[in-house]
Each structure stands twice: as structure tokens, then as C-alpha cells.
Amino acid sequence: MNEYDIISLGLGIQPPWRIVGQVLDTSRNPHELRIKIKADRGSKYPCPVCGKMCKAHDFQEKTWRHLNFFQHHCYITAKVPRIRCLEHGIKTAKVPWARKGSRFTLLFEQAAMVLVKEMPVMAAARIMSITDKSLWRIVFHHVEKAMSNLDLSYLRGISLDETSSGKRHQYVTVFIDLDRGRRSVIFAVPGKDKECIKAFNAYLKEKGGCPDNIAVAVCDMSKAFISGIKEEFPAAEIVVDWFHVVKLFNGAVDEVRRKESKKSSMPRGTRWAVLKKADGPLTEHQQELLSQLEEYAKNTATAWRIKEMLRWINEASTSQGAAWRLTNFLNYASRLIKDNPDLKPVKKALNTVRKHKDRILSRWGNDYSNALLEGMNGLFQAARARARGYRNAQTFITMIYLIGAPMGHFLKST
């Protein structure tokens, strides 16, 4: 074993490549370790197009940034052969430690991708002492490479929901594969309208999928989403996820509370008390607020009681039981708020549920839900918050893929 064997093993260097020298330059700040690699001139190299072994035509010197060696920046320099292929002409041979066109080694890029998943690109770039533009190029390449290999020929169930991508009502619609489990994001596109469904249909066909094979589509009660699914995936059963039903009534309760608070003062903390579950992790103060809610906020109390009845529906074990409970809920709640203009938000929520009753009840006929996507949405927004926003929707979509898509071992395919 010679002095270069361990470094050669780490870089995956094999004959005809070999390390011929290394120099530590302490005149620079930070210090730089430069490793020199040489290719045997008499050897043959595979054509990067057809793989046929060819002789070297000439050599070009190239340099790549590698992972730091202790506190020293590390660079690899090599004279890379250009081979002459009888079929494809003169081509630059591949090197085992870096991908074509990159100024960084594969190990450096792998470390960069790990950092980017855990922190903002700007912060990761500072740690690795490169520009954020260089790091974004690395991220874009590997995400695009991984997503280009995605096969959707098996796809049967999808879930879709929008996530905020910026200020002024900017959104990205995210699609996931309901049968894949974790890391199930398969498509993301700017917007939250019918065009998003159309764009996914085209993408599905590109990836070997068939729109007629989509049997289930889980979404919220958006008119645009439902209309788009009907047009683009006519064979799909549309299921309205229960999460969005609860979200709808939470919004109605909060709207009633805000209007009532303008007419009469409410104790601090009322908002969070009425938005939590009655049997949830409430503080003593919140429990006291709920017990006295009828005294200082009668309309808010009524809206809250209606919202809490949703749990009774959700606990139904069969679709028949759920249908009976939902019907009784709608009738009872409608009588409770009758002729009360201050409860108009609740009435609107009830009408929306009544309109989508069959799609809501479809939830009891299958095991699909939007729970996974809603959980991922929290991760997407956390990444966006850490980065203090992204320049455009495409950079946000790239991070969505990195966080939630089936990336696999992205560097192995380069």
C-alpha cells in the first residue's frame, strides 16, 4: 500500500487513473490541498456515447472542488483524455469522481444535497464556501435527474392539495401517489386551478401512466379541482378528505368569533380554545373559557358546538352509519342556526358539505386520505420559512421534490 491508496479508494480511482502527487498550499486563506491525478497515455478509454474502448486523442487539464481535508479546501486536478471514436468523433472521457460538466466531485455534491435538505441553500453554500448559484445548479441537476427516471405506469390513486409559495395568494399544487407511502410526491406545478390538473395529465402520460387508470382522487372541495378531475380523469372516484371538512368549519367558527368580538369583548385566548378539540390538550385556562363560552359569546358557542359534532360523524365505523350521522348533523345544525344572520359563515359551511355529501362519504369506502400530504405541507412550509421565501415558484418546487419525491440514490444514476 502506498501513500495515495486511501485517497484513491475514497475517490473510486482505478487504473488507468492514478494519483501522482499532492501539494498543500499554505499561502492561501483558507489553505488548499491539491491532489494531482494522471491517466496513462497508452491506455484506452470508453466512449461516453457508445462505450467502445478508444485511444486518447489529446488531454485537457480540469480541476474539481472536493470535500475539505480537515480544515483545508481540497481540489483535484487531472489531465482528462479526449478520445477519438470512429462512430461519434472526438469526445471527452468520463472521470470516475465527477459527473460531466460539473466543477465539483460527486462526493462534494452528495454532501451538498444532504445539507440543502436540512437548511436553506444560502446557509449551506456558506458552509461549503461556494456561491448559492453554484449550489442551486447542483440541486437542480440531481432533482431533475431523479424525476426524469420516474415511472408512473402503475399509478392508480392520487391526492392533491395547494401549498402557499409566496405572498399575494401565490400557490403551488402538489400531487402525491397514494400507494407509495413516504416520499410520494410525483408532481408539483404553480397555481391552484383547473390548469394544474391538465398539466398533471400531460405529465402522467409522459411518465408512462394512463389517465383512465386513475381510480381515486383525494382533494378538498375546490370547484376548480373537482371540475378538473372530472374532465381529465373521468374514471376516478373523487374523495373529499375529512381534514378539509374540519378545516372548513374551523374557518367558519373563527369568522363568527371575529364578528362577535367586535360587538362584545372576549377573554384573551378564546380563539385558540374554540379551534382545539374539546377533549384535546387544552390548558386549564382554555377549559375554563369553553365552559363559560355561552355566557360571553353565544353565537361563537353555537358555531363551536356544531364544529365539535363533526367528531361524532368521523367516529362512524361504516359508510351507512356515517351517512346517517351526516344527514342528522346537517338537519340539526340547520335548525340550530335558523334565522340567525350572525351564523351565516356556519350556514355557508353546511351548504358546502351538503353539496359534497357523497364525495365526503366516499372516504368510508377506502383507506385513502390527505393526511400524508398535509404532513408534507408542513415540511414544505418549514423549509420555505427557513429560507425566508424562494426567488420563484420553480425553486420552491425543486425543494418540494427534494423533500418529498422518491429521489432514491440520486447520485448513483449520474
Provide the 3-class DSSP secondary structure of residue 160. Answer: strand
Is the backbone of residue 330 left (phi > 0), alpha (psi -120 to 50) or beta? alpha
Q: Which helix (H) or strand (E) holds 336?
A: helix 319-336
Please provide the DSSP assignment of 55-91 as one string.
EEEEEEEEEEEEEEETTEEEEEEEEEEEEEETTTEEE
pLDDT at 2: 60
CA neighbor of 177 nearest in space, from 191, 201, 165, 160: 160
Q: DSSP of 117-131, one letter per residue?
A: HHS-HHHHHHHHTS-
- Per-residue confidence (pLDDT) for residue 272, from 0 to 100: 55
Distance of CA 187 to the CA centre of its chain: 9
Percent helix / strand / coil, the chain, rounded to 5: 50, 20, 30
Beta pairing, strands 72-85 & 32-39:
parallel
What domains appear along the chain, each with residue ranges and CATH number?
1-97 (no CATH), 157-241+368-394+401-406 (3.30.420.10), 245-364 (no CATH)
**Cα→Cα distances 45→35, 58, 59, 92, 282, Å:** 22, 12, 12, 10, 69
- Residues 129, 134, 137, CA angle at the centre, nearest 5°? 145
User: What is the spatial distance between Cα 391 and Cα 165, in angstroms, rounded to a whole number?
Assistant: 10
Cα(269)–Cα(325) distance, integer angstroms: 31
Residue 95 contacts residue 80 (beta carbons within 8 Å): yes
Euclidean distance between CA atoms 194 and 202, whole angstroms: 13
Beta partners for residue 84, in sequence order = 90
401 by DSSP, 3-state: which?
helix
- Burial class of residue 170 in the structure, from the number of CB atoms within 10 Å of its CB (0-12 exposed, 13-18 middle, 19+ buried): middle
Res 268: pLDDT: 65
Distance of CA 248 to the CA centre of its chain: 24
- Is residue 24 within 8 Å of 72, Cβ to Cβ? yes
| Residues counted in the chain | 414
- Residue 147 is placed in which grid cell? 424525476
Task: Supply φ then ψ for residue 220, to 5 degrees.
Answer: -90, -165
Q: Which residues pair with 21 in a beta bridge?
A: 36
Residue among 7, 10, 27 nearest 19 (CA) = 7
Whole-angstrom Cα distance, residue 50 to residue 83?
A: 12
Give the C-alpha separation, 155 to 375, whole Å.
21
* Residue-level pLDDT at 29: 78
The per-residue pLDDT string of the chain (414 residues; one tens digit each, 9 = 90 and over) reads 566 666 777 777 888 888 888 888 888 778 888 999 988 878 888 999 999 999 888 899 999 999 988 888 999 999 999 999 999 999 999 998 999 989 999 999 999 999 998 899 999 999 999 999 999 999 999 999 999 989 999 999 999 999 998 877 889 999 999 988 777 999 999 999 999 999 999 999 999 999 999 999 999 999 999 999 999 999 999 999 888 999 999 999 889 888 877 777 676 666 556 666 655 565 665 555 556 565 556 788 888 889 888 989 999 999 999 999 999 999 999 998 988 998 999 999 999 999 999 999 998 877 777 777 888 888 888 888 888 888 889 999 999 999 999 875 444 444
C-alpha cell at 141: 441537476
